[in-house]
Amino acid sequence: MDEIHEPHTREDANENEVITESSSFVKGETSLELSNPPKVDSQVEILHDKVTKQIIKEGHGHNKPTKYSTCFFHYRAWSEGTQHKFEDTWQEQRPIEMVLGKEKKEMTGLSIGVASMKAGERALLHVGWELGYGKEGSFSFPNVPPMADLVYEVELIGFDPTKEGKARSDMTVEERIGAADQRKVDGNALFKEEKLEEAMQQYEMVANLCFLYFAIAYMGDDFMFQLFGKYRDMALAVKNPCHLNTAACLIKLDRYEEAIGQCTIVLSEDENNVKALFRRGKSRAALGQTDAAREDFLKARKHAPEDKAIARELRLLAEHDKVIHQKQKELYKGIFGPRPEPKPKPSNWLILIWHSLLSVFYRLIALFKRETHKSD
């Protein structure tokens, strides 16, 4: 397996390579923020007398989560009557983890909707107040009025039929990172099959698993803090490659802004990561951010001077700059050259004749005065 910090000499290694290294202990859209619920024209499916669903985007595969499956999903929630949005996990950039059958009471309707979805599916759910926050509502966080019917926009990232409904928060650190590593392997297989959306969903689940671990570590006792460095390295060995592989998927899908975000996450932990610098530079170049792209490529070349893919991208940037310079030269050619000589304006012939007659008249007067003076 390839190591994450080794330089690559293959022509397109940094561009398309999926990172498959294991963690140290293993043997062997974004969706845009919406202020109101989206308008959906698809058929209404009745899941329960208090829950209906409309599909916004079809999922993939045939399986759906069953009881005790651990589901990972993003959602937005509105009070249907007031159109007040009270939760948005996309905005928080953190998916929700929920074990079906063990959800909180106020999420009963939401869990019914999630149980009907395939991985990758996005749907609009309408939930009656009886299966939401009930007669009293919620006056803390989130703020939901009494007897409020709810609207959810939900995207199921994926699900894991864990044994006996064992949630990630109940797993040991090794179990959690092991499950994340398996998700990474699944994502890599999907990437090789060009199933890019499905691959990214697996990688996002890995990032979520690792995030949950970090949250628990920060909340733990002194003993957990003593172990944090070791387990942090183990988790990053799984998590960072998934961000890089997600960036590779996004580049193939021409979603360059999102790819830059994935690479920047890795660079915040490892500022000299060659693959992150290369893929961010490639994304910036595609967006026309040539100076920033060149900076990334030059930094990547410093750590991998023999990498042909990096040299090729720098060469392409130089050629691009040369073409732009030539176009500008042709566009502005002559603007700053010598000023042309002014052409004399043609005079009116009547004015010229008048001036000539006046000149003759004044000369005659002068001659007359001289003759008069002599006779005196």
Three-state SS for the chain is CCCCCCCCCCCCHHHHCCCCCCCCCCCCCCCCCCCCCCCCCCCCEEEECCEEEEEEECCCCCCCCCCCCEEEEEEEEEECCCCEEEEEHHHHCCCEEEECCCCCHHHHHHHHHHHCCCCCCEEEEEECHHHCCCCCCECCCCCECCCCCEEEEEEEEEEECCHHHCCHHHCCHHHHHHHHHHHHHHHHHHHHCCCHHHHHHHHHHHHHHHHHHHHHHHHCCHHHHHHHHHHHHHHHHHHHHHHHHHHHHHHHCCCHHHHHHHHHHHHHHCCCCHHHHHHHHHHHHHCCCHHHHHHHHHHHHHHCCCCHHHHHHHHHHHHHHHHHHHHHHHHCCCCCCCCCCCCCCCCCHHHHHHHHHHHHHHHHHHHHHHHHHHHC
Structural domain contains residue 18: no
Q: What pLDDT does residue 211 have?
A: 54
Same domain, 196 and 124: no
Rounded distance, CA 200 to CA 250, Å? 9
Least confident of 17-31, 138-152, 327-341, 347-361: 17-31
Higher pLDDT, 241 or 1: 241
Least confident of 2-11, 121-130, 136-145, 225-234: 2-11
Tell me the range of 136-150, 186-200, 224-238 where mean pLDDT is highest: 136-150
Phi, psi of 72 (to 5 degrees): -120, 125
The fraction of the chain above a pLDDT of 90, given in percent, is: 36
CB 79 within 8 A of CB 142: no
Same domain, 65 and 190: no
Same domain, 230 and 309: yes
For the segment 230-234, the average pLDDT, to the nearest whole number, is 70
Q: What pLDDT does residue 16 have?
A: 54
Residue 116 confidence class, pLDDT cut points 50, 70, 90: very high
Same domain, 178 and 278: yes
For the segment 297-313, the average pLDDT, to the nearest whole number, is 93
Higher pLDDT, 255 or 360: 255
Answer yes or no: is pLDDT of 158 > 90.
no
Residue at a domain's end among 165, 188, 209 = 165
Q: What pLDDT does residue 193 have?
A: 80
Residue at a domain's end among 272, 299, 320 = 320
Q: What angle do CA 52, 53, 54 make, to 5 degrees?
A: 135
pLDDT per residue as tens digits for the range 10-20: 334 455 555 54
Angle between helices 274-286 and 290-303 (to 10 degrees): 160
Same domain, 240 and 197: yes
Q: What pLDDT does residue 34 have?
A: 63
Rounded distance, CA 122 to CA 73, Å? 10
Residue 49 confidence class, pLDDT cut points 50, 70, 90: very high
Is this structure's pTM higher than 0.85? no
Rounded distance, CA 136 to CA 115, Å? 26
Task: Provide the CATH number for the domain around residue 95.
Answer: 3.10.50.40
What average pLDDT is seen over the chain?
77
Residue 180, domain extent: 168-320
Structural domain contains residue 39: no
Structural domain contains residue 31: no
For the segment 160-164, the average pLDDT, to the nearest whole number, is 61
Least confident of 258-262, 286-290, 354-358: 354-358
